Amino acid sequence: MRPETVLDALVQRVGHTPLVPLARVGRGLPPGVGLWAKAEFLNPTGSVKDRAALAIVRSALEAGALDGGRTLLDASSGNTGISYAWLGARLGFPVEVCLPSNASPGRIRRLRAYGATVVFTDPTEGTDGAQREARRRAESAPTRYYYADQYHHPANPGAHFTGTGPEVWAEVGDRLTHFVAGVGTGGTLTGTGRFLKQVSPAVRVVGVEPDGPLHGLEGLKHLPSSQRPGTYDPSVVDETVRVPTERAQVMALRLAREEGLLVGTSAGAAVVGALEVASRTAGPAVLVTVLPDGGDRYLSDAYWAAV
């Protein structure tokens, strides 16, 4: 199955998301300092993970790894699994996702809506536990599964090196001073950061993590207490900002009310981290951050009750 024979117009809509200013939540920043955000929730399944999932699937198709009805298997906190499930439904291969059982109900419903098989894992072990279960299943049935392993697959950061990074640079160019993104697999931060530093070594790359091992920021990792993904390259990262769950939730609410951007808590965390960096940056400066997914899949979470 050759990739060009199955990647239709809908699948090709992945990427090329708009860069939008955050003028209202950025009120009060130092003179000459601007904050912009990549609206990744406008990808086909509503998240930045469409980029990495498509790159991984393309690689598998090129290698014939999904031939013969093999099932794509991976661990996920939800969004990459949804992207795989959509691609599987669109392109015609089965998908199985190992997922912590405390994932948001919206994510679980989306996975099942696309026809994916969901294997729940211990919520206290987070995505590390989901990875262990996916690896166990892949090793026990190697002819049944193609183990995508997004946490170590080079196509994950590669998708951002060839896509997200060039898109940001095309819009901002040498005005860019900082790139700020959450750390999950590390693919967005590493791939985009590598590209931006290649074209402009002065660009500072800032990672945003939860402030502790027990947090409510789905998709993000507290690296000091987690298994470090192979797709995360610490040499690219100049600084790490750690954000409490509650501040990220408040910012997600603010982004909806003040900017008209209905996004998830990982987006809220990224904006909190970007504002922290921007507040201590002298102008002229342009900071770009990433809004990884939409807020519709979290509306059943308690913090939205304040709306």
Q: Which residues are catalytic?
A: 49, 266
Of 146, 113, 136, nearest in space to 45 by CA: 113
Long-range (24+ apart) CB contacts under 8 A made by 91-94 are 91/6, 91/7, 91/11, 91/57, 91/61, 92/6, 93/66, 93/69, 94/69
Of 193, 233, 185, nearest in space to 209 by CA: 185
C-alpha Rg value of the chain to the nearest Å = 18
For the chain, give percent helix, strand, coil, nearest 5: 50, 20, 35
- Name, in order, each residue with C-beta under 8 angstroms of 212's C-beta and a sequence gap of 6 or more: 222, 225, 242
CA-CA distance, 306 to 203, in Å (whole number)?
38
CA-CA distance, 47 to 45, in Å (whole number)?
6
For residue 32, the Cα-to-chain-centroid distance in whole angstroms is 29
Q: Is 208 helix (H, G, I), strand (E, B) or coil?
A: strand
Looking at the chain, how many residues does it have?
307
Cα end-to-end distance, the chain, whole Å: 48
